[in-house]
Amino acid sequence: MQLCNGDDLGVSQQTVSRVISVTLDALCAQPILKRFIKFPPIQQLQQKKEQFREVAGFPEIVGAIDGTHIRIVKPSEFEVEYVNRKRYHSINVQVVFDAKYNIIDLEARWPGSVHDSRILNESGLKRMFETGAVPAGCHLLGDSGYGSKTWLLTPYLRPQPGYQSNYNRNIQLLLEDDPGHDQPPAEDNIQMAANDDDDDQIEPPPAGYQARNRLPYREEFARLHFQWICVQTGGFHYPFDGTHFPCPKYLPPAHPEGQGEDEEGHHLEI
C-alpha cells in the first residue's frame, strides 16, 4: 500500500513510511490525547448518566467498557503473545465510551492474547473508581467477560424471570448499540465467570444505596431499578421514586403470569 501511495504522490515508499510514523506520533502526543480523550469531570457525570438513561432506561451509568482487537502485522518479537482467540495478531485495546460514542478512556498497550478483565484490573481506570476519584454511585457497564463490581455492572449469565431478566434486557439494548462490541463466545464468558470470585462477593454499596439482606451489589442494584416493568406503556416503573421512564426499544416480558398493577392501573411485571 505504501508503494502505491508513493507512486501516486511521487515520493518513495520510505518517505511514505516516515510521514505515517511522524503523523501517528503527533496524534499520540499527550496534549492531543488529553484534549480529545478524557474521563468526564465530576460536574459532568450526572449528564452522562442522563444520556445513558435516555438510550435504554438504564440508570446510574457513566460509561460502557469493552475490549476491541486491532489487527497488526506479525511482530518479530513475542509473536505468540499477540495471537488472539480468533487466531490473528492484534493489540487488545480497552475502550470506554459515553452514550454519544465519545471515547472517554483508552488503554492500548496490551497484546491480543491478554483478556479484557486483566487489562481492566491493571489499568488506571480501576484505580480511579476504587480510590474514590470517581464518586460512588457512578458505574461502568460491561459484558460478562468482566467480573461484577460495585462500580462495574455486568449481565447475569443465567437470569431469572423478573428483575434479573429486565436488567439483562436493558444491558443488551446498550451493547447492541455499541458499534465496536465484540462479544466473546458464551463458553468463554461462562468460564471467565467461574474463575472470577468478584460476582459472589458481598461488597458495600456506594453512598445512597442501602444493601438489604446483604445481597451482592449487582443483585441489589437490579432489584432496586428493575423490579417492575410496565407492559402497558412500554416503559419502566420505578417504585422508589414513582416515575415512569420510556424505553424506545422496549421488549415485552416473557412471563406474563408474573404481572400486577400499580396505583395508576398500569400492568407491571413483579
Least confident of 14-18, 33-37, 173-177: 173-177
Do 17 and 115 lie in a common domain?
A: no
Q: List pLDDT tens digits, range 42-74.
A: 999 999 999 998 887 889 999 999 999 999 999
Shared domain check, 95 and 73: yes
- Here the cell at position 62 is 457513566
* Model pLDDT, residue 214: 44
90-97/61-71 β-pairing = antiparallel
pTM given for the model: 0.66
Same domain, 122 and 186: yes
Predicted pLDDT of residue 58: 86
Distance from chain centroid for Cα 186: 17
State whether 173 and 232 are in the same domain: no
Are both 32 and 44 inside the same structural domain? Answer: no
The residue range of the domain holding 17 is 1-36
Q: Taking Cα atoms as reference points, which of 182, 201, 197, 168 lies closest to residue 116?
A: 182
Closest CA to 120 of 66, 156, 74, 168: 66
Q: Residue 14 pLDDT more than 50?
A: yes
pLDDT digits (tens, 9 = 90+) for 211-268: 444 458 999 999 888 876 455 555 544 443 334 444 444 443 443 333 333 334 333 3
Same-domain status, 62 and 19: no
